[in-house]
Amino acid sequence: MLQVYLEEIVLYKLPFVTAAIFFAGLFFRVYKYLSVKLKIFPVFPKASKSGFKKLSDYFGDVFLFKTLFSSDKSLWVLSWLFHVSLLVILLGHIRMFLGIKVGESFANFLGTSLGAIFFLTLLFLLVRRVAKLRVISTAEDYFALILLLSVAVSGMYLRLNDVSLEGYLLSLISGEKIRVGSLALVVHAFLAQLLVAYLPFGKLFHSIGVFHSNYLVRWKNARVGNSVREMR
């Protein structure tokens, strides 16, 4: 009886609260970014060689982590594997939610291998933070990593025990409630929703904030460079 109650609350009522918190937080953070009283370096500079070079450097930093690669190659590998595996896992969940069909064996192989990579990179990042960055780490740093690890572990448990997530995700978009019959799925759904609700308010929001803050930094650097040249 308790599990039926938990399924109703966590799987079919809490998602609306989670979505409301996420989008409210998202709009608030974007509003705060746009309220900064500084001119932002243009997204698409003039069609000149220097302009395209600046643009390519910027997107190289954002998507390829070029700065991190030049400073710490081992951390770059961990960070790159973490972000790529997370992106593909998210796309896989969206695929299930929308009911897009792919080969079952391919989906199982990709989901299991990327889930393992996601878990291992998070574990290494946590160990690295405890071993090397403990002095400058905050409670939020540990909270974010442990929450991500909890989502990864519960998700891998579902996959290794053949607990289907797809049926539940399809029921959300169809509006037809189903009995999932798995407490592990309820736990995974709760942890995932906690992560989604936390995203706009914590450091993990850098995935969106980077598009704003990097422009500001580049614009300020450009202004400083121009001032130095004028002084000369």
Residue 210: give its domain's CATH number.
1.20.950.20
- Residue-range definition of the domain harbouring residue 130: 2-39+46-225
230 domain residue, yes or no? no
The answer to whether 132 touches 159, Cβ cutoff 8 Å, is no
Structure tokens at 56: 């390519």
In a domain, 75, yes or no: yes
**pTM for this one?**
0.77
Cα dihedral: 151, 156, 159, 165 (round 10): 0
Query: Would you state the pLDDT for residue 65?
Result: 67
> Which pLDDT belongs to residue 205?
72
pLDDT tens for residues 153-194? 999 999 888 888 888 888 888 888 888 888 999 999 999 999
What number of residues does the chain have? 232
Q: Sign of dihedral through CA atoms 91, 97, 101, 105?
A: positive
The answer to whether position 154 is within a domain reads yes
Per-residue pLDDT of the chain (232 residues; tens, 9 = 90+): 778 888 889 999 999 999 999 999 988 887 877 776 654 444 444 444 455 666 666 666 666 666 666 777 788 888 889 888 998 999 988 888 888 888 888 888 888 899 999 999 999 999 999 988 888 888 988 999 999 999 999 999 998 888 888 888 888 888 888 888 889 999 999 999 999 999 888 877 766 555 555 444 443 444 434 433 333 4
Establish if 232 belongs to a structural domain.
no
Query: CA–CA separation, 52 vs 56, rounded Å?
Result: 6
pLDDT at residue 108, rounded to an integer: 86
Give a yes or no: residue 22 inside a domain: yes
Q: Is residue 231 part of a domain?
A: no
Residue 85 located in a structural domain: yes
- Report how far residue 24's alpha carbon sits from residue 50's, in angstroms, rounded to the nearest whole number: 39
Give the pLDDT score at 170.
87
Query: Quick one: pLDDT at residue 48?
Result: 43
Compute the distance between CA of residue 80 and CA of residue 179 in angstroms, rounded to an integer.
Answer: 38
Domain tally, the chain: 1
